[in-house]
């Protein structure tokens, strides 16, 4: 079972190309903080702007660098099923522990189409597949009954749930045996209180140790400690979504001196007024 604190890592760029040295440093920082696993080439990693060569290279680099010290859930999503299969097979061949596959965006498939999509990708590999439900970005939501059908496929084992609803987590857990991982940082602790087993986190880019400690406390049933850290993190988690992810996360990491604040179009650095709000939170948390 995939459980714990997983970081949806940013992809650092320098002068338009992958900044591999900085990326390795970010991975080292996560390992030192006790992060369970890393999720490269997801939305936070600007996967939509990566070439397939860059995407595959980044997965290989991640697996090779962590050397089993963290689990690797490789982003392998696409709104084209054959492309998702290609990325998933490459991830498995590279040594990834699992793949994260988003609901197909823009073409807005029916529930039957989503079943066929996830089934085709899952059957092309043997490692676990984590379904990613994020209707705010994709324009579609995978129904709980659809998840119950997908749950019959042996290696579809988990869902990253980013619908913003604790009720939805309860419904999924009531109808399936899927492991639920939070996809909404501000809701991670509440979701875990109804049965989620961890998070694929944006906030962990900035404060990996705190996120790992909160998740660990929740998994151990230490509600008081988990709640305390949840409230400590809540302001930052909210402000990391003042603008489109990963704009604030990259701005925060740049302010902390960990990366250059470089994104690929059509993404661009966050506006100065919103950044000031984020900066104030970083100062408040003594991160800068």
* Exposure on the CB side of residue 80, measured as CA atoms within 13 A: 5
SS (H, E, C) 187-208: HHHHHHHCCCCEEEECHHHCCH
CA separation for the pair 256, 204 (Å, rounded): 14
Is 17 buried (19+), middle (13-18) or exposed (0-12) by CB count in 10 A? exposed
- Find the DSSP H helices in the chain: 20-33, 52-66, 81-94, 111-123, 135-138, 144-150, 166-175, 188-193, 208-219, 223-239, 247-255, 272-284
Q: What contacts 215, CB < 8 A, 6 or more positions away?
A: 4, 5, 36, 188, 192, 198, 199, 226
Handedness of CA 206, 249, 60, 57 (dihedral sign): negative
Is 25 buried (19+), middle (13-18) or exposed (0-12) by CB count in 10 A? middle
Question: Measuring CA to CA, which residue among 261, 45, 73, 216 is closest to residue 158?
Answer: 73
Q: Which of the residues are catalytic?
A: 132, 160
CA separation for the pair 81, 60 (Å, rounded): 22
């Amino acid at each position: 079972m995939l459980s714990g604190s997983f970081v949806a890592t940013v992809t650092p760029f320098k002068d338009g190309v992958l900044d591999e040295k900085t990326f390795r440093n970010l991975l080292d920082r996560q390992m030192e903080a006790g992060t369970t696993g890393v999720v490269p080439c997801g939305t936070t990693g600007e996967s939509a702007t990566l070439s397939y060569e860059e995407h595959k290279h980044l997965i290989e680099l991640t697996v090779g660098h962590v050397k089993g010290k963290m689990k690797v859930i490789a982003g392998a999503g696409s709104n084209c099923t054959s492309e998702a299969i290609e990325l998933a097979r490459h991830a498995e061949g590279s040594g990834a522990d699992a793949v994260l596959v988003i609901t197909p965006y823009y073409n807005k498939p029916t529930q039957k189409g989503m079943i066929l999509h996830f089934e085709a990708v899952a059957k092309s590999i043997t490692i676990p597949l984590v379904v990613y439900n994020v209707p705010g970005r994709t324009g579609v939501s995978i129904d709980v009954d659809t998840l119950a059908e997908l749950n019959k496929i042996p290696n579809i084992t988990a869902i990253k749930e980013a619908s913003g609803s604790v009720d939805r987590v309860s419904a999924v857990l009531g109808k399936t045996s899927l492991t639920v991982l939070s996809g909404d940082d501000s809701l991670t602790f509440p979701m875990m209180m109804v049965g989620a087993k961890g998070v694929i986190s944006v906030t962990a880019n900035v404060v990996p140790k705190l996120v790992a400690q909160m998740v660990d406390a929740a998994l151990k049933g230490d509600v008081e400690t988990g709640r305390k850290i949840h409230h400590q993190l809540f302001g930052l988690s909210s402000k990391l979504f003042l603008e489109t992810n990963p704009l604030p996360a990259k701005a925060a990491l740049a302010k902390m001196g960990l990366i250059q604040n470089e994104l690929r179009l059509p993404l661009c650095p966050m506006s100065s007024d919103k950044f000031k709000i984020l900066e104030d939170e970083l100062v408040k948390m003594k991160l800068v």
